[in-house]
Amino acid sequence: MHTLEKLHNIKIFTKEELKPIINSTNLIGRGVFSHVYKGYVDNTQVAVKIPFTYSSLQNLEFENQVVIMSQVSHKNIVRLIGCCLEAGSLMLVYEFVSNGSLDEILHSRDKVMPLNLDVRLNIVAESAQGLAYLHSQARAKTVHGDVKSANILLDDDFVPKISDVGITKLIDLSDWRYSSILVGGGSYIRDPVYVQTGMLTEKTDVYCFGIVILEVISGKKPNHYDDSSCGLATRFLDVHKEGKKATHLFDMDIAVTAGDLEILGHLAEIAVECINFDADQQRPTMTDVAERLLILNRSRRPQAV
């Protein structure tokens, strides 16, 4: 069967169809691996991603990865709407997610959209569901490879959607220029086991998701404590090793009641397990993490405003 015949529910666009979107006024994201543009196709708002680090890949390899991405269907994963497969103009067309990234909202200086504890808990709980789906339920099970708060987008209702699924498959990980900023995006996020082995596994995603939880409960970036040569993860791990509570590391804007502190404590415990250096024996699976977060999330619903 021809590669394109295996595509599931996505449209093949021509370069000419997408050309009106690809201009500087529509540019909404500029990264190491791609540029992202916002526009409309068929009266639907979309985000068009143009990867440009896969130059060594053949079109067939790109097509094969698009086939896998087309089989991903989950409410907490950004939906691939279509693609352009013309030589020299490879593009991916996604649903547009309106509220930006978790990273932007958590760490913006103006705090235009502050997130209360219940919203933050729901974001990590549903994001975990999306990752668990990728690892164990999707038709083509896959490792994300670059889990971070910047790759968790939020819609108008703050429902999280994981972006960039499959993008790591389009990157030459043997090239240090790219591998050094993948898997979380920096030295304070990258899984130390991946650094040692160079192997991307489900437990790599688990580690990086643990860092996301720490960001959510502390309100701080992973490198917040870089003045002391240790990041957010090290601070929480040290407190855990000492058998102490991590209360002083929590975002006090969301730690209002004793019940809030209890939830934050549970989240810290889950995060510390996720970032354990013993990936095989001590880190939970994303399915385990998702189930525990779901229970915590449900426990808060009667109190949700």
145: left (phi over 0), alpha (psi -120 to 50) or beta: left
Provide CB contacts within 8 A for 272, sequence distance 6+. Answer: 210, 236, 237, 240
User: Are 11 and 81 in contact, with CB atoms under 8 Å apart?
Assistant: yes
Amino acid at position 119, single letter:
V
Instruction: Say if domain 3-95 classifies as CATH 3.30.110.60.
Output: no
Ranges of CATH 1.10.510.10 domains, the chain: 102-303
Residue 304's pLDDT band (boundaries 50, 70, 90)?
very low
Cα 155 to Cα 95, 134, 149, 164, 190, distances in angstroms: 11, 20, 14, 16, 27
Q: What is the pTM of this model?
A: 0.90
The catalytic residues are: 146
Is 203 a known ligand-binding residue?
Answer: no
pLDDT tens track for 49-104: 998 655 445 566 778 788 888 889 999 999 999 999 887 888 999 999 999 999 99
pLDDT tens digits, one per residue of 256-297: 999 999 999 999 999 999 999 888 888 999 999 999 999 999
Other Cβ atoms less than 10 A from the Cβ of 110: the count is 6
Query: Which CATH superfamily is 102-303 part of?
Result: Transferase(Phosphotransferase) domain 1 (1.10.510.10)
Q: Which part of the chain has CATH 3.30.200.20?
A: 3-95
